[in-house]
Structure 1
Amino acid sequence: MITLWGEGRGFRVSWLLEEMGLAYRLRDVDLLVGAENDPEFMAMNPAGFIPVLQDGEAVMVESIAIMEYLMARYGPTPLAVDPRDPTFHLYQQFLHLGEAGLAGFIFIAVMTRIVAPEADKDNWSTRESVKLFEARRRLVTRQLARTPYMAGEAFTAADISVTYALEFAKRSGFATLGEAEQAYVARTTAREGYRRAMQTCHATRGWVESLANP
């Protein structure tokens, strides 16, 4: 049985698992309590961050690497574009941009707002992180002016990656989505795989519901 440790970016992995129809269990990890207080989790990832994927003897961290592993290990799947496909470069770019160019920068801003001392909450690094997110977000809006999904006409894992980042930024209050982005997110989140992942990921669902009912 595949075990997914932690939500957060782990939502991407849950969504992918649901899309692929793979059985798994979600093991909660509460980082607000402190990963160091969860010795079972720390034994899986002594660096203390989520998500972690446990698949038999294989243990992996980093959500995009986990997604690539699952698609390669349990594919083929239409969620991964064939390297010979002419849209493969777009698929690769946006699969990784969703974390390296989007969610990663917003994570810095979110963590600063949550844990930094009051005098340090509005600092240069936070402002620069949001600026970098906005600059790379232009690649998404440009692509949406050309095609309905990041790699062209079909939904792929790149859309899971980018949708997570856009929703994370919006829910955290660091971005307002434009019309094209709103329509895009509406398309991707209407999928049954997304809905099943949201039902499985209780912490994520609770966060979303709290924003809708403050």
Structure 2
Amino acid sequence: MITVYGEGRGFRVIWLLEEMGLAYRLRPVNLLDGVENDTEFLAINPAGFIPAIQDGEVTMVESIAIMEYLMARHGPTPLAPDPHDASFPAYQQFLHLGEAGLAASIYFVVGARNFAPKSEAKNWSAGQALSVFESRLTLVTRQLARTPYLAGEVFTAADISVTYALELAQKGAGVTLGEAEQSYMARMQAREGYMRAMDACPSRKAWLAKTPTQ
């Protein structure tokens, strides 16, 4: 059975596993309490970040890489279009944009606004990171004006990637999303796979229920 270590970005992996119908177990990792005493987890990922997975003899970290691995190893799945399909370029772009362009930048805004001293909550670096997020978000907005999903007419793993980033921005950094993004998120959150993943991640579910950061 596949073991997923940690919620957070691990939610992407769990949602994917739910959509694919693959068996897994979630092993919680509490980053806020520190991982220095979690020797079992540090043996899996000595860098101490989540998510990580174990799949038989395979150990991997990085949420997007894990998703690509799972779809390739346990597929085929419509969540990953064929490379020759017309939707493949958009799929690849938004699968990676969800982390590299969106979540990776807004992560630092979340940190500044929730954990830094008040004097640093809106520092220059946080502002720069927010600017990067906002510029990349325009690509999402433009695509949603064309198609219902980020790769085109069907739901793919790219939607899992980007939805996570939009939720992080909205709930963790108080970013106000436009009508297109809000409607899109509502449709994603109504998916049975998403709801099952949320039920499997009690810490994330509780966090998302809180009032957004202002």
Shorter chain as denominator, the TM-score bin is: over 0.9
Mapping for residues 112-191 of structure 1, pairs under 5 Å: 112-191=112-191
AA matched with 1:187: R
Q: Would the aligned equivalents of 1:35 and 1:42 in 2 still touch at CA under 8 Å?
A: yes
Describe the SS at the equivalent of 2:211: helix
Please state whether the residue corresponding to 1:37 is helix, strand or coil: coil
Give the Cα–Cα distance (whole angstroms) in 1 for the partners of residues 113 and 46 of structure 2. Answer: 25
Normalised to the residue count of structure 1, the TM-score between the two structures is 0.96
Task: Determine helix, strand or coil for the equivalent of 1:25.
Answer: strand
Tell me what 1:41 maps to.
41
TM-score under structure 2 length normalisation: 0.96
How far apart are the structure 2 equivalents of 1:195 and 1:39?
31
Which residues in structure 2 correspond to 1:1-214 (within 5 Å)? Answer: 1-211=1-211
Structure 2: unaligned runs, 5 residues or longer: none
Q: 8 Å contact 2:109–2:173 — kept in the other structure?
A: no
Cα offset, 1:175, TM superposition: 1.3
Amino acid at match of 2:18: E
How far apart in 1 are the matches of 2:173 and 2:109? 10
CA distance in 2, matches of 1:123, 1:26: 36
Q: Percent identity?
A: 67
Distance in 2, Cα, partners of 1:11 & 1:184: 18
- How many angstroms apart in 2 are the aligned matches of 1:169 and 1:68? 23
What is the number of equivalent residue pairs in this alignment? 212
Task: Please list every run of at least 4 consecutive aligned residues from structure 1 whose deviation after the TM superposition is greater than 2 angstroms.
Answer: 112-122, 209-212
Once superposed, what is the RMSD of the aligned Cα atoms? 1.2
Q: Is the 8 A contact 2:4 2:26 kept in 1?
A: yes
Contact 1:130 1:174 in 2 (8 A): no
The CA distance in 2 between the partners of 1:184 and 1:209, in whole Å, is 19
Q: Distance in 2 between matches of 1:211 and 1:13?
A: 25
Amino acid at match of 1:196: R
Gaps of 5+ in 1: none
Distance in 2, matches of 1:186 and 1:210, equals 17
Partner-residue secondary structure (3-state), 2:151: coil
